[in-house]
Structure 1
């Protein structure tokens, strides 16, 4: 049964005041008010041309010791306002050219959950975006050296399988077996045409080096370890653990070959997971992984793996500052070209 209450004088005054207030404004779909007879359109999403995802920053985004993000930030976003994204570890920055970036967090879960939140946020339009997953890693001394920068040709997950202790196996046999059912998750080929463009644009980038890194390289007998830094391509292996030692390095190479990928050249902890998240929303033919080598994935012949993992003061590799600068110097050649030739790149990777 509906009950009716008499309209008292106080209620009548309240009702009149409310009607007067509402008569002067209109509520838009965004929840904001504007003068009667007008509407306020919601801000159009930012068309992302290139998204740069780093994994960590040491301190601030500018002005102190640089981590993976600072050199990118100082190049593209010093004047950009941060955009807070619920679910992402850090804000997103975008410049007026459509270059956006963020610190996603270290490891598969941190980085991929941040990427998912950013991709799904309505403030951004990723429908035509290219991605540069950018960070540091380790390299086997048989294939790389401190200060190198590599573009991935393949991303291989180090963890999706069965692994057991060497003493529980036939001596010298592999201690890893892929798990069935993960075939679509454990390996991603980077678009060869995109890699070709990246190398064409960046292979001759001048790379910085340090005296500390030059001296450290001499501890290794391998020709690749002793050479000056360069830009090249190969497989990046994604693992949640900082695997070290010749045994783990051999296993990473074994897994790369088992999956039909190129030679393993860089350790990392995020790219395969981030790529899988992107694939849930968009094609992955515009995804790239860029890594700089700040350490070898194993000790020299005169040290144990534990000594390599926990070096004495003054025994570290050196070259970190130079390497993170090399990464952004190499990567920006690709980013700048895409942005400056956007009409040719917007609909897909152009022919070279």
Structure 2
């Protein structure tokens, strides 16, 4: 009879039944990563936040993948589409994005990134329910500010601070933005009676029209700035940075762009925002009244806007994945549509 030591027996078992560890598994090759900032409750079945319609469209049959350092798990489907809720604000969203990009469970060397969420818009440029593709993302906070009465009357109260030139503005890839705009044409956007009624409080033609897809600069700030004065300041910053007109106020895109720029690059990043409020009140209300509306006086249209975001963004996601042979290495020429 042959004798076998315990160590030899265990070695034979390992040969017969190889141990599977996370480190030995091949990383998921991510074609498109969708980043939302918040969800109101569950990912499905209740009032939708920024992620629910994405989840229902792409991830309802996906397993949650825990990532150390990220606020929420990542979901990936069999087609190489992944997504997660990063958290609100520059610090929270950037921390989650960096944890996910650097995690060994994912190969994001060829990924496209859709930074998706809601925001505000100036009534002279947009309206409730609009969906806007960023041409630039700018940091609203990096600079010097002072109270208007402590400066020159009628002059800007902001000055860029030297030393932040490389992180305060990012121009997103024009070729990718053109693709996004082209694929957005013909998409039917949702609207609501409440939003239609609310728009009529504003005299501007852009504020009163029906929702559509637009493009322009997204202004990233941890502060929810409101009022015509700070809206004008945002436009002044956009002009100072030689960017396109300010169209959307939001809280995360410039910070996420900095993370991607340091890791995989920003050439495959887009920022997509739906307008759920105006950045200022109408002529018959003060800024404080606009910030704290009475019951029943809110803008309306939130549910329709978060759905519009996915209707518009999903067209780009689906096209990239369907034609991955063209998109994997480089952004194809728009004539290859």
Report the TM-score when normalising by structure 2. 0.96
Distance 1:94 1:294 in 2: 28
Deviation at 1:195, TM superposition (A): 0.4
Confirm or deny that 1:34 pairs with 2:14. Answer: yes
Q: 1:261 aligns with which of 225, 234, 243?
A: 243
Q: Give the whole-Å Cα distance in 2 for the aligned partners of 1:138 and 1:322.
A: 15
- CA shift, 1:314, in A, is 0.3
CA distance in 2: counterparts of 1:195 and 1:34, whole angstroms: 51
**Aligned residue in 1 for 2:328:** 346
Q: Does 1:180 align with 2:180?
A: no
Per-residue deviation at 1:20? 3.0
**2:107 is the alignment partner of 1:125:** yes
CA distance in 1, matches of 2:18, 2:233: 65
Kept in 2, the 8 Å contact 1:139–1:266? The answer is yes
The 1:26–1:298 alpha-carbon spacing in structure 2 relative to 1, beyond 3 Å, is: farther
Alignment correspondent of 2:291? 309
Q: Which residue of 2 aligns with 1:221?
A: 203
Query: What SS does the corresponding residue of 1:177 show, helix, strand or coil?
Result: strand
Q: Which residue of 1 aligns with 2:133?
A: 151
SS at match of 1:134: strand
Alignment of 1:54-65 (within 5 A): 54-65=36-47
Is 1:164 matched with 2:146? yes
Inter-CA distance 305–283: structure 2 relative to 1 (3 Å threshold):
same
SS at match of 1:182: coil
Residues 157-204 of structure 1: CA distance to partner in whole angstroms, max 9, x if unpaired?
000000111010111100000000100000000100000000110122
Q: Say which of 194, 210, 213 aligns to 1:212.
A: 194
Change in 2 beyond 3 A, CA 1:97/1:167: same
In structure 2, what is the Cα distance between the partners aligned to 1:302 and 1:40? 66
- Runs of at least 5 residues in structure 2 that lack an aligned partner in the other structure: none
CA contact (8 A) 1:50 1:98 kept: yes
Deviates more, 1:39-48 or 1:185-194: 39-48
Give me the CA root mean square deviation. Answer: 1.5
Number of equivalent positions: 330
The 5 A counterparts of 1:15-94 are 20-26=5-11, 34-35=14-15, 42-94=24-76
Q: Does the aligned pair in 2 maintain the 1:69–1:103 contact within 8 Å? A: yes
Q: What is the aligned counterpart of 1:235 among 200, 203, 217? A: 217
Superposed displacement of residue 24, structure 1? 2.4
3-state DSSP of counterpart to 1:311: coil
Which residue pairs with 1:319 in the alignment? 301
Aligned residue for 1:323, secondary structure, equals helix
CA-CA distance at 1:348 after TM superposition: 1.3
Query: Retained in 2: the 8 A contact 1:186–1:272?
Result: yes
Question: Any idea what SS the aligned residue of 1:229 has?
Answer: coil
Counterpart-to-counterpart distance in 1, 2:9 and 2:302: 61
Q: Equivalent residue of 2:5, what SS?
A: helix
Counterparts of 1:20 and 1:241, CA distance in 2: 67
Distance across 1 between alignment mates of 2:11 and 2:205: 72
Q: Distance in 2 between matches of 1:21 and 1:284?
A: 54
Q: Give the Cα separation in 2 of the matches to 1:47 and 1:95.
A: 11
TM-score in terms of structure 1 length = 0.91
